[in-house]
Amino acid sequence: MKKKLCLHNIDAYAAQGLESYDLAGQTNTRDDLRTAVGSVHFDALVIDLDERDAVNAVVEALEQRPNLIVIGVIGTNDVNKAIAAQRAGCSQLATKPLEPGDLKTALSAAFQSDESNPNRGSRTVALIGSTGGAGTTTVACYLAMALAERADHVGLMDMDFEFGGVAKAWDLNPKYTIEDLLQFEQIERQSLEDVMIELPSGVFVLPRPRNIKDTHKIDADSLQAVLETMRAMFPYVVLDLPRRLDQLTGCAIENCDKLLIVTQQTVNGVFNAARLGEGLVDYGIEESRIEFVLNRYNKRVHQVTVNELTKRVRKSPLALIPNHYKSIGQASDLGEPVTDSNPVRVAIGELADAMFGEKAKTSSSGWMSSLGLKK
C-alpha cells in the first residue's frame, strides 16, 4: 500500500519518481487545503513555508488531522521561521529548490520517526460480548466505519481467531490472514499492509486465520507486535474480541484505551456484563477504561430496564443501540452495510463521538459511498 501525498504550493515535479508514494492531491489556496484535509485521504502534506500564513495552515491541518505527517519546504535561512514551523508540527524540513531525492529523504525520515513511537495519537478500542450473540461483531464493524468517517483510516482486527465473522460481515474473501502475517520474521508496517484488506471507506481489515488449527500458532508476543504496528499505522484501532479471557484476550485488553462490554436487555446479559466488568477490575484493569454498550435496545419488549443495568454495573451505558435486527441481519447476509440513516448507524456514530469527542467530517450519501465495498 503506497502512502499518499498532498502538495500545497509545491510543483508536482518534486513527487516524480517516488515509488512508495502516490500523489493524492495538489492545492494552492488555504480554502482548497482545508477541503482536501477534510475530504481526501493522504498520509503526508508537503507545504511551501514561504507562502503567507503557511505556518498557520500547518497548525490548522494538524488540528483537523492530528496524525498527519507534514513536510515544510523553505527557501531562506530564516532560523526563526524554521523554528516556528517545527513548533507548528512540521515533522521534517526541506530546502528549495525541492528535488524528488530531497523530498524522498525528508519523507523517509518523517515516517521512520513517526513509526518509532507506536502510540503517538493512536486510540485502541476493544469490544467483547457479555453473552453469545450479543451482536459484538456488528457493533465493532460499524464502529470502525464511524471512526473512519472521523479519521479517514482505521484498523479493524478480528481477534476471534477460531470463529470470527468480521470478513463475512464485509463480504470479503481474504487472500491473506493474520496467520500469514506471522510468517514474517518481524512484524513491520509493509508486511501488515500486504496482509490487510483495504476498503475504500478507510477501514483496513486484518482477518482471522482460515483454519482453526492455525489459531494456535498465535502467541502473545506476536500479537503484541501486531498491535504496536497497527497503532503506529492508524489513528484508531478496533479489536473484535472473542468471549473468553485468555492470554491473547488479556494482551489486547492491556493495550486498549477503551474496552466496550456489549450486552443486551436480558437477565443473563446484564448479570454477565457486571461479572465481566468486576472480574477485569480485579485483574487490574482501570474501571475508567471499561464502558458498557446496550445493543438491540427496545424498551417496549424487554423487562430489564436501563436503570437496572446501570445499577448492576455501577455506571450508565455509553450507548443505547436500537433493535433493528431484521435490517442489520439482511445487510449482514448480503455483505452490505445498512444506510447511514439507519438508527443503528446513527447510534454507533454517537458512540464514536461519546468516546473521543470527534464529529464525522463528511456525511456519505448511501451505503456504497460510505463503504465502497469491493466485489
Q: Do residues 188 and 331 share a domain?
A: yes
Q: Do residues 43 and 138 share a domain?
A: no
pLDDT band of residue 185 (cuts 50, 70, 90) is confident
Non-local CB neighbours of 102 within 8 Å, separated by 6+ positions: 94, 95
Query: For residue range 128-181, what is the model confidence (pLDDT) as tens digits?
Result: 999 999 999 999 999 999 999 888 789 999 999 999 999 998 889 999 999 999
Specify the pLDDT at position 363.
Answer: 39
pLDDT band of residue 320 (cuts 50, 70, 90) is very high
When the pLDDT of each residue in the chain is averaged and rounded to a whole number, the result is 87
Query: For residue range 192-204, what is the model confidence (pLDDT) as tens digits?
Result: 988 999 987 889 9
CATH number at residue 79: 3.40.50.2300
pLDDT at 339 over 70: yes
Q: Do residues 104 and 219 share a domain?
A: no
Query: For residue range 52-61, what is the model confidence (pLDDT) as tens digits?
Result: 889 999 988 8
CA dihedral 206, 211, 212, 218 (to 10 degrees): -50
Residues pairing with 240 in the sheet: 127, 158
C-alpha to C-alpha distances, 186 to 110, 112, 190, 219, nearest whole angstrom = 21, 16, 10, 14
pLDDT at 370 over 50: no
pLDDT band of residue 186 (cuts 50, 70, 90) is confident
Q: Do residues 291 and 222 share a domain?
A: yes
Helix (H/G/I), strand (E/B), else coil: 128: strand
Q: First and final CA of the chain: distance in angstroms?
A: 19
Non-local CB neighbours of 305 within 8 Å, separated by 6+ positions: 265, 299
Of 90, 115, 140, the domain-final residue? 115
Q: Do residues 67 and 151 share a domain?
A: no
Of 85, 115, 145, the domain-final residue? 115
Query: For residue range 79-109, what is the model confidence (pLDDT) as tens digits?
Result: 888 888 888 889 999 999 999 999 999 999 9
pLDDT at 118 over 60: no
Domain extent at residue 58 = 3-115
CATH number at residue 174: 3.40.50.300
Q: Which residue has the higher pLDDT, 118 or 219?
A: 219
pLDDT at 76 over 80: no
pLDDT band of residue 115 (cuts 50, 70, 90) is low
pTM for the model: 0.67
Specify the pLDDT at position 131.
Answer: 94
CA 358 to chain centre: 13
**Number of independent structural domains in the chain:** 2
**Among 374, 367, 375, CA closest to 142:** 367
